[in-house]
A and B are shown apart, each in its own frame.
Chain A
């Protein structure tokens, strides 16, 4: 029976009229004071809903016959099922529903671009109302479970003794590892860095995703029997071929987006100009802003961040927290085209971040020691839509301006990590360096033992898409291994 038809759900729907549910106003996420938080590096901005707030928000969900919200979710979370458990106060049950399809609900509840996924498809939006706060509710259920001390370790099938290697411990790798462990495989995750968690650790700042939340998920996987090996680079420390020789029957490559992109403009190698990967890795992974840390980081007073994505927002808000008096986003399109989550843009503005949209850097100017002091910006306007469907930025001839800066963080995207391809030249890649896989199974078209997902395939995507890849790859690899034997 469809869970929606269970008597308690029928009764629950009947308790409040749909019209009344629609008229309820959307919950506001409690958050730290903007002035306070713009000087505090390690406190999460969003404080989370209280049980009462969550239950009230859950009432807004109409429990639709055809829940279109689920179509917007890359991992098809059973959204009404978990929300209705929240409405009745059965929060642990809600968390269980989330974990059926999502490996990292506490993470996704924080970092998913819900307004372009589930929440965009919510029935409320079609009625010109604010969508149900699905992301906030997801976070609430996952946090409640974690803090309850009654975290459920998913059941695993009896061990089948088949060894599987995972390259990279970011969201794709963790999602894949969890699913394969559930199926009884012996999963070993190899991580190049000294910390497990990939972009969740080195990339996303503590004020948006606390490390302890990621660590709980990793501990959960360990409890399921997954082994993690840090400081080990597949393709360098151990060759792919050696993994095969050592009895690994399947390899999932989730090595992420290795190379930061630069714009190849004059002055880009000046001191004080760096990639967002470098800046965030120093601050997040290496804890460089802590005086006890041996890793240095610039604490610029006038910081420009180039780009309009989530990583750009993370960088500029970090710079603000490290003491920047002026922290500026420089973006070549308008705010409407910005790929960042709406909430990040909102938070950034509240924290005093300036937005220079329709501006694009064309040169950086330095002083006698090679330190960046100014940037030359080209003014832009919007032209026709480009391949991405967004209106493309066009230069306004002759219109430039010079802005003083002492630090520039370039956040204009990444290219796939080249190490695996260097190690296994016969692996087929696109001209952008992404691995070519079957879109349904995530299996390499050139080397069947290899499956891949996340940014190494997509070239730069989101946590949830990476996780979706991991889950599809796990299902397909399981079938492939079973069909072989």
Chain B
């Protein structure tokens, strides 16, 4: 049981929690994730750690309300307890001074990008962060990103804020302007696929942080398996970060949709129906 210390809304459907978890706060590095379960009948879902405060013994999680489990989590308030929280899991991000790094993030993927941006900046990189969202209200963490980046480019699908266009438009503008040594991308799988296709064209090494379906999160079940360079890998223990150019994103998208019908049915029966 882990106590929620504070809750903040980034937007109507995106919630930021700080949660009491002193051991995880101490052990985590940028790129790590946790498994969360809400309620005795709850599902185990992976969430990347967005931040941690060792002195306060807390970690930060940013959650987007989507299905049954994220809706139940988002319904918790400060003072409530998360039934189960375990981590930090996965391999930490490899941080060194690469030179110029473009961090391309979309939607709620901006939150787990935050500690990576900070660590890359600290290691001496020139960090250019591209934040993409559908519309202005969904742009999150812009201020913190500005504090830790040399430059922040905001892209919105509808042009309501920053530049109009997709994340790839923002990344490509940078690539055409200056030499980029590394690209890091976190966001919806479809977004990462297109970032990866773009940087491959320019031959820029790219790392993607994958968020697949998981059950235990410790290597035991294999629900998270993805194909990397023709070989099956487990996101939970071999990842979550991989060479984006080796990831079979189409297979990953297909596997992510595997429980779509059941999720829809559960959502209707457990959440919408009870409202």
Decide whether A and B assemble into one complex: yes
Q: Are A281 and B215 touching (Cβ within 8 A)?
A: yes
A100 contacts B by Cβ under 8 Å: no
- Say which size band chain A's interface belongs to: 35 or more
Q: Are A268 and B68 touching (Cβ within 8 A)?
A: no
Given contact pairs A239-B27, A274-B223, A286-B44, A231 touches B254 in the complex (Cβ within 8 A): no
Q: Are B27 and A260 touching (Cβ within 8 A)?
A: no
Q: A294-B68, A296-B266 are in contact. List 6 more A-B contacts (CB 8 A).
A: A231-B85, A233-B87, A238-B23, A262-B225, A294-B39, A422-B237
Q: Are B254 and A271 touching (Cβ within 8 A)?
A: yes
Segment touching A, from B111-119, B138-146, B180-188, B256-264: B256-264
CA gap between A192 and B216 in the complex, in Å: 9
Q: Are A419 and B219 touching (Cβ within 8 A)?
A: yes
Given contact pairs A237-B23, A258-B218, A258-B219, A271 touches B255 in the complex (Cβ within 8 A): yes
Q: Are B232 and A269 touching (Cβ within 8 A)?
A: yes
Q: How far is the CB of A144 from chain B (nearest CB, A)?
A: 31
Q: Are A232 and B219 touching (Cβ within 8 A)?
A: no
Q: Are B41 and A236 touching (Cβ within 8 A)?
A: no
Please indicate the chain B residues that have their CB under 8 angstroms from the CB of A88 in the complex: none
A446 contacts B by Cβ under 8 Å: no
Q: Are A193 and B259 touching (Cβ within 8 A)?
A: no
> Which of A194, A282, A292 neighbours the largest number of chain B CB atoms within 10 Å of its CB?
A194
Please indicate the chain B residues that have their CB under 8 angstroms from the CB of A296 in the complex: 43, 259, 262-263, 266
Name B23's closest neighbour in chain A (CB-CB). Answer: A237
Please indicate the chain A residues that have their CB under 8 angstroms from the CB of B215 in the complex: 278, 281-282, 286, 295
A444 contacts B by Cβ under 8 Å: no
CA gap between A274 and B214 in the complex, in Å: 12
B220 contacts A by Cβ under 8 Å: yes
B172 contacts A by Cβ under 8 Å: no
Q: Are B237 and A419 touching (Cβ within 8 A)?
A: yes
Instruction: Return the CB mask of B32-61 against A: 1 if under 8 Å, else 0.
Output: 000001010111100000000000000000
CA gap between A356 and B84 in the complex, in Å: 41
CA gap between A295 and B42 in the complex, in Å: 7
Please indicate the chain A residues that have their CB under 8 angstroms from the CB of B39 in the complex: 294
Total CB contacts across the A-B interface at under 8 A: 125
CA gap between A260 and B42 in the complex, in Å: 24
Please indicate the chain B residues that have their CB under 8 angstroms from the CB of A230 in the complex: 84
Q: Are B263 and A260 touching (Cβ within 8 A)?
A: no
Please indicate the chain A residues that have their CB under 8 angstroms from the CB of B72 in the complex: 294
Name A194's closest neighbour in chain B (CB-CB). Answer: B84
Please indicate the chain B residues that have their CB under 8 angstroms from the CB of A286 in the complex: 43-44, 215
A259 contacts B by Cβ under 8 Å: yes
Name B234's closest neighbour in chain A (CB-CB). Answer: A259
A443 contacts B by Cβ under 8 Å: no
Please indicate the chain B residues that have their CB under 8 angstroms from the CB of A264 in the complex: 232
Q: How far is the CB of A225 from chain B (nearest CB, A)?
A: 23
Q: Are B255 and A259 touching (Cβ within 8 A)?
A: no
Q: Are A233 and B222 touching (Cβ within 8 A)?
A: no
Q: Which of B220-256 contact A (CB under 8 A)?
A: 220-223, 225-227, 232, 234, 237, 251, 254-255
Q: Are A237 and B222 touching (Cβ within 8 A)?
A: no
B103 contacts A by Cβ under 8 Å: no
Please indicate the chain A residues that have their CB under 8 angstroms from the CB of B255 in the complex: 269, 271, 370
Interface residues of A (CB under 8 A from B): 192-194, 202, 230-233, 236-239, 256, 258-260, 262, 264, 268-272, 274-275, 277-278, 281-282, 286-287, 290-296, 369-371, 417-419, 422
Partner of B41, one of A239, A287, A418: A287
Partner of A271, one of B24, B88, B257: B257
Q: Are A236 and B89 touching (Cβ within 8 A)?
A: yes
Name B68's closest neighbour in chain A (CB-CB). Answer: A294
Given contact pairs A272-B258, A278-B215, A282-B215, A194 touches B227 in the complex (Cβ within 8 A): no
CA gap between A295 and B227 in the complex, in Å: 24
Q: Which of B74-128 contact A (CB under 8 A)?
A: 83-89
Q: How far is the CB of A399 from chain B (nearest CB, A)?
A: 27
Partner of B23, one of A232, A269, A275, A287: A232
Question: Can you name 11 A-B residue pairings with CB atoms under 8 Å?
Answer: A236-B88, A237-B23, A259-B234, A260-B220, A260-B222, A269-B227, A286-B43, A292-B41, A294-B42, A296-B266, A422-B237
Q: Are B222 and A262 touching (Cβ within 8 A)?
A: yes
Please indicate the chain B residues that have their CB under 8 angstroms from the CB of A419 in the complex: 218-219, 237
Q: How far is the CB of B73 from chain A (nearest CB, A)?
A: 11
Given contact pairs A193-B216, A237-B27, A281 touches B221 in the complex (Cβ within 8 A): yes
Instruction: Return the CB mask of B1-41 against A: 1 if under 8 Å, else 0.
Output: 00000000000000000000001100100000000010101
CA gap between A274 and B44 in the complex, in Å: 17
Given contact pairs A192-B216, A238-B27, A419-B218, A271 touches B258 in the complex (Cβ within 8 A): yes
Q: Are A237 and B88 touching (Cβ within 8 A)?
A: yes
Q: Are A236 and B87 touching (Cβ within 8 A)?
A: yes
CA gap between A259 and B219 in the complex, in Å: 5
Closest 10 CB pairs of A and B: A370-B254, A278-B221, A294-B43, A271-B258, A296-B262, A231-B86, A194-B84, A275-B222, A258-B219, A295-B43
